[in-house]
Structure 1
Amino acid sequence: MRNVRVYGILLFIVLLIVWELVSGAMSELVLPAPSVVVMTLWEGLTTGYLLPHILRTLSEILMGLMIGSFLGFLVGILMGEIPFLRRLLFPYVIASQAVPKLALAPMFILWFGFGMTSKVVITALICFFPLLENTVTSIQYTDSNKRELFRVLGATRWQTLLQLKIPAGLPGIMAGLRVAVVLAVVGAVVGEFIGGSVGLGALIIASQGMMDTPLMFAVLFLLTGIGMLLYQFVNLSEKYLLKRYTKGKNQ
């Protein structure tokens, strides 16, 4: 495991070196060197120029992720537990996800304005489906022998859901949350692309207009870092929850 991490770091260093060498033969407008991008990023952070944009985008990501994930989890439980509701709503859920969010963004901005609300709605809608799909699947495919055991022991439907189906389906549910975390970054940036004056997505559009390619790459670095940190946080939370569940189960 340690060797894999070492190789990963070495691969990253090699890629940076290759990037630095290749960028030397190109215009900074086309491909800025990583050293230039890092300097631009450092300057933006130390002067405070990037801070309002980071806070705005991070707020949109977290709010949209929480709302979309909560609703996806809640509706997923209902659809997983009630077959009639699942057959009734699932075609509409699929239809809502088949429409490109980039096409819906102008409509949401028209309805909810150019502030944070429209971006949060877009982000929540994107995060909704992974949690719903994984929750429904996890609830439906709980071990039949364990369900039968709970039925024989006289457990209520509510007890079976809380003590068996949700804990047993936790790996699948958390996998949906990991996907939603990454998509939340995409959702917030897409909303800012269409209509926003503050935020990292809006800053990418502004840097494109100013032909400031180093700033554009610096913002992309920031978005990548935010996505990776949030993903890692969910990953660690999953390990903690699974460890706690396994420990309680063994006791």
Structure 2
Amino acid sequence: MTRARLASLLLLAALLAAWEAACRTLGLPKLVLPPPSAVATSLWQGLASGYFWPHLQATMLELLLGVAGGCAVGFGAGIALAESAPLRRLLMPYVVASQVVPKLALAPLFVLWFGFGMTSTVVITALICFFPLLENTLTALQQVPPERLELFRMLGATRAQTLWRLKLPSGLPGILAGLRVAVVLALVGAVVGEFIGASRGLGALVIASQGTMDTSLMFAVLVLIAALGMSVYQATLLLERWLLLPFTRNS
């Protein structure tokens, strides 16, 4: 693991060095492609002056609210659809239809309905991360081994007991995989929502840097977005390990 991380850091350093050398050798203007040194300067200045912090906090809050709301609804809907075949046949086409429509096309409507600011961005974020958790929960609960289901029936377990003691523990890895996907997509939703309906946030800062033709600032914001996404993803992995720890001990 240490060697893999070291190799990854060395690869990153090599890519940054090649980027820097290409910018200096080819004489590319900073407006087209700033060198990593210019991006690092903009990043440091924004962090040291406190300019980035309100935008970073706004995006983090929108991300957390959107993930909490979207995943809660997606998890509950996944359980309901997995437990009821008639409900699944009735609602699944509408669920899929709601997801195939590009969220960027819906963003102006959300701004019209919920106004500019955090609410519309949270709704977009929740809508984006809703489907991965629903689909993974639905699939995971339907893939319980039939022999285990038959054993629970023979033992006289109720439907709720079967769900709580068999289906959810068996499907937990698949459900958590859906959570990982949802978290990554949620950050995309938050940034896209800020492109259109927010005056604060990392997405709004990208639009502002584009308006001022400050490409170095734009790249610095993209670095912050990537760092935030990696941090949230790692937090999801830690949560997954903690939730799966009792099962690994038992095995």
- TM-score normalised according to structure 2 size: 0.97
Q: What is the RMSD of the two structures over their aligned residues, measured on CA atoms?
A: 1.0
1:246 Cα offset (Å) = 3.2
1:47-105 residue CA offsets vs partner (Å, 9 max, x unmatched): 11111101111110110011000100000000001111111110000000000000000
Q: Tell me which residue corresponds to 1:42.
A: 44
Distance 2:103 2:245 in 1: 36
What is the percentage of aligned positions where both structures have the same residue? 60
The equivalent position to 1:145 in structure 2, one of 144, 147, 161, is: 147
Q: For this pair of structures, how many residues does the alignment match?
A: 249
Distance 2:50 2:7 in 1: 35
Distance 2:3 2:44 in 1: 31
One-letter identity of the residue aligned with 2:75: F
- Residue pairs, 1:216-227, within 5 angstroms: 216-227=218-229
Q: Tell me which residue corresponds to 1:80.
A: 82
Distance 2:197 2:127 in 1: 17
Instruction: Point out where structure 2 has 5 or more consecutive residues left out of the alignment.
Output: none
One-letter identity of the residue aligned with 1:58: M
Distance 2:185 2:213 in 1: 27
Q: Tell me which residue corresponds to 2:182.
A: 180
Distance 1:101 1:108 in 2: 10
Greater Cα shift, 6-15 or 64-73 = 6-15
Distance 1:22 1:129 in 2: 42
Q: Tell me which residue corresponds to 1:117.
A: 119
Q: Tell me which residue corresponds to 1:55.
A: 57
| Partner SS state of residue 169, structure 1 | helix
1:33 Cα offset (Å) = 1.1
The equivalent position to 2:239 in structure 1, one of 218, 227, 237, is: 237
One-letter identity of the residue aligned with 2:96: I
Q: Tell me which residue corresponds to 1:128.
A: 130
Distance 2:173 2:37 in 1: 40
Q: Tell me which residue corresponds to 1:200.
A: 202
- Residue pairs, 1:8-27, within 5 angstroms: 8-24=8-24, 25-27=27-29
Q: Tell me which residue corresponds to 1:3.
A: 3
Distance 1:178 1:121 in 2: 19
Instruction: Point out where structure 1 has 5 or more consecutive residues left out of the alignment.
Output: none
